[in-house]
Structure 1
Amino acid sequence: MDSSSPEQKTILITGGAGFIGSNLCEYFLNKGYAVRVLDNFSTGHRHNIQPFIDLPAFTLIEGDIRNPEDCVHACENVDYVLHQAALGSVPRSINDPVTTNDVNINGFLNMLVAARDAKVKRFVYAASSSTYGDSESLPKVEDVIGKPLSPYAVTKYVNELYADVFSKTYGLECIGLRYFNVFGRKQDPNGAYAAVIPKFVKQFMNYESPVINGTGEYSRDFTYIDNVLQMNELALSTSNTHALNTVYNTAVGDRTTLNELAQYLKEYLIEFDPKIAEISITHGENRAGDIPHSLASIEKAKNLLGYQPSHSIQEGLKEALNWYWENLK
């Protein structure tokens, strides 16, 4: 299946055609790994993986994590799994809880079983800050969570429970990364469930007024993609046994309100197009299922994995905007 040499390690990236998944593909191919992708292209895009498609170290399997046979096929002779495949978005889960549950829970369980049976060395998966639910404590510390506020949050919490059971019962090494509002290159600005940063960027570029939900004082720990890539590599490669079979906040450890975010974007985009200075920012209703504030403690990741975020939100936004300006015009 792969033309990799015996000493070359193979990573399966589920959802590898998506925003985070395709960045992981590029990152680990550049590190000398063989990379295999399992994706059904329901939310991912072929253009995200097009640069790798003819590389000897890259293999694409078109399939669905809801199909156990696809998961088994994808896990054959794999050393590590980076499980990114999921239906994201709180609003999508509220509109269609059944499909979100099917993909995020049944698909996750299929992948755990396939990884266990293939004797995969380690299973690193995308968890979510939505797991903190209605907990009001700040910063968010891994072992203090509340009740989920959306079907999506329920599914991501169940993932953590299943991973814990599989590590204890079957000895499968699992690490969950609770992503906090990841942004960066290759993030899709289109569609009903587009993330706020690429959506606002595209609106500014089109001279449209971004609409902030509520007063704009809700805050998030916006996390640049390069910080996420670092965390995945640390989780995949750590030899610290105390670092295994647990979850980590994957964030920068700082929070930004939506009002501040919109102002940063406007300020940085003016350098590309001065006319953007004239665009107003409007406000709409609060969104169901949203938590008011999100701020991660990253002490656990620093202490057990040696994590040091490479990009603040401002540094990340400046890099991301260069990419968006080139690719969204």
Structure 2
Amino acid sequence: MTKAKNAAAYNLVNAEYSLNLAQAAMSAGIPLKRFVFLSSLAALGPAAYNAAQPITEETLPAPVTDYGKSKLLAEQYLKGVNGLPLSIIRPTAVYGPGEKDLFVLFKTLSKGLDAYIGKGPQKLSFVYVTDLVRATMAALRETDKGMTVYNISDGQAYDRYALADQFRAISGKPTFRAHLPLLLVKAIARFLDFVYANSSTTPVLNQEKLKELTAPNWICSIDAARSRLHYQPQYNLHRGLAETLTWYKENKWL
């Protein structure tokens, strides 16, 4: 669950349901070869902008959202299941055909608006869905009976403008770049949370999401995945975005 009204809802689905599945798998009387849990880099939280090194699997967790905390809780639950042959995958921001969250940004860019929250610098990371699937399948085939953990990205570091710059280069569409005051966006997020308080849906912009959107540094190391999973990303942002935008156009999303 990537959108929820409160921490309890996130924890129920992301942590408790995952624990239930693991316990059921262990008690089913079948030889369980591997249990792969799709966590998130949000479980570790962002780094400081001027951090000396990228986020690694050993980075002390400091999630900034209830979503990230629920993913961390799930990891802790699963680590406590005795004998579980566990692989944990922590992808950074995932994009690709059919993805709906970043699509909102692409739709805005397609209309000519390139908007940012505040003017502070950011370091971002991304992973194309095909590369994430490749890493996940490699983890599924691990023969190590113990627990393994892998951060997954395309191995690159991007500034906050890279996604829009690549969109413009691929699409050929001009955009107007604007920086919205952080205090204004925070006020809008609070207002939307209030308006949607009794709704079954969650707004695209909310106070939780804002914490991730404004985080200074999401760069992570993929050295562990390269070494143990032989993971080699095939898509940088330009190639992945080109395929993604083609899919959106062919399926009339854009």
- CA separation of 1:326 and 1:216: change in aligned 2, threshold 3 A: farther
Q: TM-score, normalised by structure 2?
A: 0.79
> C-alpha distance in 2, partners of 1:216/1:121?
46
Name the counterpart of 1:247.
149
Name the counterpart of 2:69.
154
Would you say 1:124 and 2:33 are equivalent positions?
Answer: no
> C-alpha distance in 1, partners of 2:225/2:58?
13
8 Å CA contact 2:115–2:178 kept in 1: the answer is yes
Q: 1:302 Cα deviation (Å)?
A: 1.1
Q: 1:294 Cα deviation (Å)?
A: 1.0
> C-alpha distance in 2, partners of 1:216/1:108?
37
- CA separation of 1:302 and 1:288: change in aligned 2, threshold 3 A: closer
SS in 2 for 1:249: strand
Give the alignment partner of residue 220 of structure 1, picking from 98, 117, 124. Answer: 124
Name the counterpart of 1:114.
24
Q: Which structure's relative contact order is higher, taking Cα pairs within 8 Å and 6+ residues apart?
A: 2
> C-alpha distance in 2, partners of 1:134/1:183?
19
8 Å CA contact 1:216–1:283 kept in 2: the answer is no
User: 1:244-265 deviations in whole A, cap 9, x for unaligned?
Assistant: 4121011112121221211111
8 Å CA contact 2:115–2:179 kept in 1: the answer is yes
Would you say 1:283 and 2:179 are equivalent positions?
Answer: yes
Name the counterpart of 1:50.
none
1:15-94 matches, cutoff 5 A: 87-88=1-2, 92=3
Would you say 1:234 and 2:157 are equivalent positions?
Answer: no
> C-alpha distance in 2, partners of 1:201/1:105?
31
SS in 1 for 2:130: helix
Would you say 1:204 and 2:103 are equivalent positions?
Answer: no
> C-alpha distance in 2, partners of 1:114/1:210?
47
Q: 1:135 Cα deviation (Å)?
A: 4.2
- CA separation of 1:262 and 1:306: change in aligned 2, threshold 3 A: same
> C-alpha distance in 2, partners of 1:134/1:255?
14
Q: 1:134 Cα deviation (Å)?
A: 5.3
8 Å CA contact 2:163–2:237 kept in 1: the answer is no
> C-alpha distance in 1, partners of 2:221/2:47?
14
Name the counterpart of 2:233.
309
Q: 1:159 Cα deviation (Å)?
A: 1.5
Q: 1:310 Cα deviation (Å)?
A: 1.0
Residue 231 of structure 2 aligns to which amino acid in structure 1? Y
Residue 295 of structure 1 aligns to which amino acid in structure 2? I
Structure 1: 4+ residue segments shifted above 6 A: none
8 Å CA contact 1:121–1:173 kept in 2: the answer is yes
| Number of residue pairs matched by the alignment | 220
Deviates more, 1:303-312 or 1:253-262: 253-262
8 Å CA contact 1:164–1:246 kept in 2: the answer is no
Which runs of 5 or more structure 2 residues have no equivalent in the other structure? 186-209
Q: 1:133 Cα deviation (Å)?
A: 2.2
Name the counterpart of 1:181.
93
Q: TM-score, normalised by structure 1?
A: 0.62
